Structure 1
């Protein structure tokens, strides 16, 4: 593609007043304006023909395959000129998706003999998939009158995943603190515990673990030791409906839920359990079967990155019935959701009841600190009182729903947004210690 530069446009615009002045003061030479335009056009053609040919350049573009939310990353564009290189060149990037360019989508190339390169800085603003669609390179001739431009279609995907740097740090701290759990033989009583061995009874052990027959045979107390069962199924069921996409402290609730789910998944995988992800709103959106192994966490990270922000109402009946149909064995289902009142929660309660017939269900609900702030704020005008009364009513209905969930046999974790991850990890480890999985 060849088109005029700014210099050419300005020169063309300057011809009109010059031709007008000549026409007024020297009418016989009114054609001088046309001559100037023809001269400019000729110079433009010469500049375009003598500059580097469009077929003499090969363009490539490199970018990361995955980045974390909030990270800045560089997309590097390179060009190789087959015969000769221009004095200067510019790159421009066409991109779509949840990214921004703090310094713009254009960059001046650094020229080397026969080569040009430039880095365009992008910033990932939220989870999702950004696409590098096109890359352009352009250069001018020696006179700077004509741009020559080459376009390359890219269609490269950059997966924007949840930022897991803090997740890994917290996970390692929590895992190191509880590293002995699930890794060595422990005394565990309850359904699902695996018998490990017999050992001398020691003070502090559960008296129910005493094997009275073996104790009578050996004339001293003998206790049974149990090993925590591993390879449990854990499913992170993430509600991505309208209520979960509302901001909580400038961050959508679903993003906070994803961070807490990944933190718990990291701990569970370290403990030898199998972890899967299930996302839904009006219908199931993303799913991965519970897996374990060397590299499942990366897969979970990619699945959660693909959970989009939705404005649909959540259909608990369809989503949880679909999830129950895919699970072949008893599992711990961790549901991250949000509800406004008892009416909207009725279908959720009935859908959860079917899951409890076979599975263990743990609900994770983020505390609404904004509503709590309205209640605790000092009233200065009638609007503050009305706002506090409404907030108290909403929180009362919320507590009623949570109470009904507990009566059904659902385990509930209600925590502040910043503490949801550690609170869920502690609840998961507590369920393992009690052999409820």
Structure 2
């Protein structure tokens, strides 16, 4: 009995020793921490909801292969996927493209990469932290701006808008002069020709570009969540699209972002290079938990811009109907400028208007939504009769609706 016990003890001890030897051997054949290096590169800026890649370059300077996993300190607003267990051979460099998609605008610091690698048989794991300080700049999605630049007419096609060529004789009238060979017959001033008994033509100063002011409301009502982002997110993207259209057309564009105070002011500029100035100024705008101060915004515009301009305000137009002071302020603004208010349709209201009620509760919701819609339409008609345009569009059509209005006003020559 005792000999049998000793025999089992010897076997047990042999197993323990074998495992320890195997473990030490496995540790001996695992790479040293200093033999693994890691570098990370990333784009200067990424667009919201556009997939980009962070590049990791991992080098194994040792003479033994390694299996590893890694993680990092990306913010929760940036979604990503990482491979599971990855193998890097001895004296090799491995390049990994890590897909990322940002869901929120702003400037986000990232610092650490944590690399955990295991030995050949997986009995040992080592971890190393690489401190690599980077920042990810997340800008608004510019896909609609690119769509406009690639084909403006195709972009506006489903809205029924058509970009017309500039009418001959446009621009500010300068003087009447004698007709010379080569003048456009459409510029002949028949009244002066008959009066002076010689052919006279109108002369115009060349078109110097219209003035476009884009106002972006950052007050609390712009924080209402939509299916994709919130009202402010979609308004910023639409504002950049209409800025692209205006700058591409040769107009001057300025931007005013406000809530309780004026948050951002971009002075008028011309040319598509000015779009980058606008983008860098507004990419980090946030919704503020305060009411919008329209008085301060209107007074600021009246002070800064004395030339007649098209003022495009991105806001929640429904709150205009609750404050008579806003109507008074906008009427004062219209004395010099052409005004339009652009808002996003209430998704809850639209869903309930389209509802096929199967209960009293659903019927009540549908009725309330219809009453709100009728009330808003009456208020919009009231503003329309005062020469003030208010437009609501679905979130996905906000940019194209705004650009269509801008093109329509140019075609009509009302600015």
- TM-score with structure 2 setting the length: 0.77
Q: Which residue of 2 aligns with 1:258?
A: 236
Post-superposition offset of 1:334: 0.9
1:187 to 159, 169, 172: 169
2:70 to 74, 91, 97: 91
Q: Which residue of 2 aligns with 1:120?
A: 98
Instruction: Please say if residues 209 and 251 of structure 2, whose CA atoms lie closer than 8 Å, have aligned partners that are also in contact.
Output: yes
Q: Which residue of 2 aligns with 1:148?
A: 126
Post-superposition offset of 1:85: 5.5
Instruction: Please say if residues 89 and 109 of structure 1, whose CA atoms lie closer than 8 Å, have aligned partners that are also in contact.
Output: yes
Q: Which residue of 2 aligns with 1:100?
A: 79
Post-superposition offset of 1:96: 1.0
User: 1:286-330: per-residue Cα shift (whole Å, max 9, x none)?
Assistant: 442222235222343444432334554433234444455544654
1:271-420 → structure 2 map (5 Å cutoff):
271-327=249-305, 329-341=307-319, 344-368=322-346, 370-372=348-350, 374-375=352-353, 377-406=355-384, 408-420=386-398
Q: Which residue of 2 aligns with 1:12?
A: none
Post-superposition offset of 1:337: 0.8
Instruction: Please say if residues 228 and 432 of structure 1, whose CA atoms lie closer than 8 Å, have aligned partners that are also in contact.
Output: no
Whole-angstrom CA distance in 2 between matches of 1:81 and 1:379:
65
The answer to whether the aligner puts 1:244 opposite 2:226 as a matched pair is: no
Unaligned runs of 5+ in 1: 1-24
Post-superposition offset of 1:116: 3.2
Post-superposition offset of 1:268: 0.8
Length, aligned pairs only: 396
Instruction: Please say if residues 23 and 123 of structure 2, whose CA atoms lie closer than 8 Å, have aligned partners that are also in contact.
Output: yes
- TM-score with structure 1 setting the length: 0.73
Q: Which residue of 2 aligns with 1:178?
A: 163
Distance 1:110 1:401, change over 3 A: farther
The answer to whether the aligner puts 1:78 opposite 2:57 as a matched pair is: yes
Whole-angstrom CA distance in 2 between matches of 1:381 and 1:263:
43
The answer to whether the aligner puts 1:212 opposite 2:191 as a matched pair is: yes
Whole-angstrom CA distance in 2 between matches of 1:340 and 1:154:
47
In terms of mean alpha carbon deviation, does 354-363 or 63-72 score higher?
Answer: 354-363
What is the SS of the residue equivalent to 2:38? strand
The answer to whether the aligner puts 1:426 opposite 2:404 as a matched pair is: yes
CA RMSD of aligned residues (A): 4.0
Q: Which residue of 1 aligns with 2:157?
A: none
Instruction: Please say if residues 164 and 411 of structure 2, whose CA atoms lie closer than 8 Å, have aligned partners that are also in contact.
Output: no
Whole-angstrom CA distance in 1 between matches of 2:329 and 2:21:
77
Q: Which residue of 1 aligns with 2:159?
A: none
What is the SS of the residue equivalent to 1:363? strand
Post-superposition offset of 1:84: 4.4
What is the SS of the residue equivalent to 2:73? strand
Post-superposition offset of 1:95: 0.4
Post-superposition offset of 1:381: 3.0
Distance 1:149 1:323, change over 3 A: farther
Whole-angstrom CA distance in 1 between matches of 2:151 and 2:244:
12
Whole-angstrom CA distance in 2 between matches of 1:137 and 1:72:
24
Whole-angstrom CA distance in 1 between matches of 2:304 and 2:272:
24
